[in-house]
Amino acid sequence: MQKQRLLAKKTFSTVFLLLAVILMILPFATAFNEFLTRMVEDSSLYQPIQRIFVPYLSRLIVGILSFLPGLEIGVFPYGVMVNGVDVRITWNCLGWQSFLLFFASCLVGLRGEYTRISKIETFAFGFLGTFLVNIFRMVFTAALVGWWRGLFVILFHNYFSTFVTIAWLFGFWWFSYSFVLEPRTMLTSRRKLQVRPRRAPMRGKEKVDRKITNYDRMRKG
């Protein structure tokens, strides 16, 4: 058990170091992201995503924004309209960078002697959480356009959203190591306890025979 705790601490430290390095190279990562975006947009690889997923997310974001005060919301196929300002949503806004960070952290975080079902639960929980974080990022950015136009919107869109993703990954891995991931040794111990044979209750005659046998042994002794 102590070995598993040390391994979890070591793995969490590795994930922490990985995310810290990402924060250090954030300006270079942003420039590299723009370079990759231009390369993909020069091809036709993004068009199915743009055609299928973006309209769905646009309607989903409009539905959430309608609950926020001070915003007049409209929708068009590839974006939303907030207080008369068009907020265009492209394939690049869907948060593939966040999922890339999540998958990279899983390569490190899911190492170790954990049960297969707990690993699957951790991955599913992290995948869904990353999707919801991306929805929150897009909704908050669109709301900022209606509430406060200016430099802060650009800074949040380009930089602060990455901090949100990294904060989510920190919380996600802490929660997973504390409550979700289960070491194999614990499962093995549970199975041993469950299959431990129980002694069958003795019948009346067997009890009498056993007492006579013990009495005979005492007399011979």
Report the C-alpha gap between 158 and 142 in whole angstroms.
Answer: 13
Instruction: Name the residue with tokens 């013990």.
Output: 214
State the amino acid at position 196 in one-letter form.
R
Report the C-alpha gap between 86 and 55 in whole angstroms.
Answer: 14
pLDDT value of position 215: 47
Q: Is the pLDDT of residue 163 over 50?
A: yes
More confident residue, 45 or 55: 55
Average confidence score pLDDT of the chain: 77
Buried b (16+ CB within 10 A) or exposed e, 124-158: eebeebbeebbbebbbbbbbbbbeeeeeebeebbe
**CB of 126 closer than 8 Å to CB of 172:** yes
pLDDT value of position 118: 93
What is the reported pTM?
Answer: 0.74
Of 64-73, 93-102, 152-161, the range with the lowest mean pLDDT is 152-161
Q: Is the pLDDT of residue 196 over 60?
A: no
Question: For residue 165, what are the contacts with CB-CB under 8 A and spacing of at least 6?
Answer: 95, 97, 98, 101, 130, 133, 137
74-124: per-residue pLDDT in tens? 887 788 989 888 888 888 888 888 898 899 889 888 988 889 999 999 999
Q: Is the pLDDT of residue 167 over 90?
A: no
Average pLDDT over residues 200-219: 54
